[in-house]
Amino acid sequence: MSHIQRSARAIGALSTALAAAFALGASGAAQAAEVTGNATLTTDYVWRGSTQTHGDAAVQAGVKVAGESGFYGSVWASNVEFAPETHASSEFDFTVGWSHSLNDDWALDVNALHYRYPSTTVDLNWTELNGTATWKGNYWASLGYSNEALGYDESGVYGLVGAKFPVNDKFRFEAAVAYYDLKDLNGDNKDDGYAHGLVSAVWTVKAPAPTVSVEARLTAHATDSSAKEFFGEDFAGSRIEAALQASF
């Protein structure tokens, strides 16, 4: 099966699953619940500094149902392309969590996130616990932990700090630096973990409807040399990503 056929098949499965999830979310949303969603077209799916599509384009979409109490559930999906022997073509992320403003300055989000790859011939599925504290809506710090990081039976700890710098109501810069501690996955030729960073320029585009917001994003990603030891020369390093996202 060609790459185009695999991508088309993955996108078809993605669309079907998301449509079903949205229907369930919309029908199950109580009076106090809110349903939101997003759809993205990107030139490269980059996750924690590493490409998940071998540098190819990705179609992504998600839906979220949240209550006034702060509890929420979401599903998000994308096409992927890993090593050929895995036959991976799609990723689905299922999240349950709680998010709330603590006061005028601070907000907190804690969740359990399950990564699932239904089309693979090997078990790549894994789950991670995450927490993010946000200050004044423009600065954040995140911490993630899993005892089955990247689908292995070993632990990993991920830490990130980020910030956004608004220029005006339509344009902003964002930046983040992170370190992924994977010492339990350390092989003879691998370091204890790797670092990565990103810088983005984000434009708000005129939306086709009042309830829809559209953003164009240009992001420069970079990893240290240790990332290439974990993921390979073709998946880590420096890369540019351009994306267009619609949210409702």
Task: Give the pLDDT of residue 12.
Answer: 53
Q: How many domains does the chain have?
A: 1
For residue 213, list its beta bridge partners. Answer: 247
Task: Give the pLDDT of residue 195.
Answer: 97
Residue 23 belongs to domain with CATH number: 2.40.160.40
Range of the domain at 121: 3-247
Taking the chain (248 residues) in runs of 10, the rounded mean pLDDT of each run is: 45 50 47 88 98 96 95 97 85 97 97 94 93 98 97 95 97 98 75 94 89 96 94 94 96
| DSSP secondary structure code for residue 151 in this structure | G
For residue 223, list its beta bridge partners. Answer: 196
Helix spans in the chain (H): 3-28, 225-231
Task: Give the pLDDT of residue 121.
Answer: 81
Tokens linked to 48: 């924690």
For residue 13, list its beta bridge partners. Answer: none
Task: State the pTM of this model.
Answer: 0.86
Let me know: does 50 contact 223? Beta carbons within 8 Å.
Answer: yes
Task: Give the pLDDT of residue 29.
Answer: 45
Task: Give the pLDDT of residue 31.
Answer: 52
Task: Give the pLDDT of residue 24.
Answer: 46
Let me know: does 167 contact 173? Beta carbons within 8 Å.
Answer: yes
Nearest to 76 by CA among 8, 127, 14, 142: 14
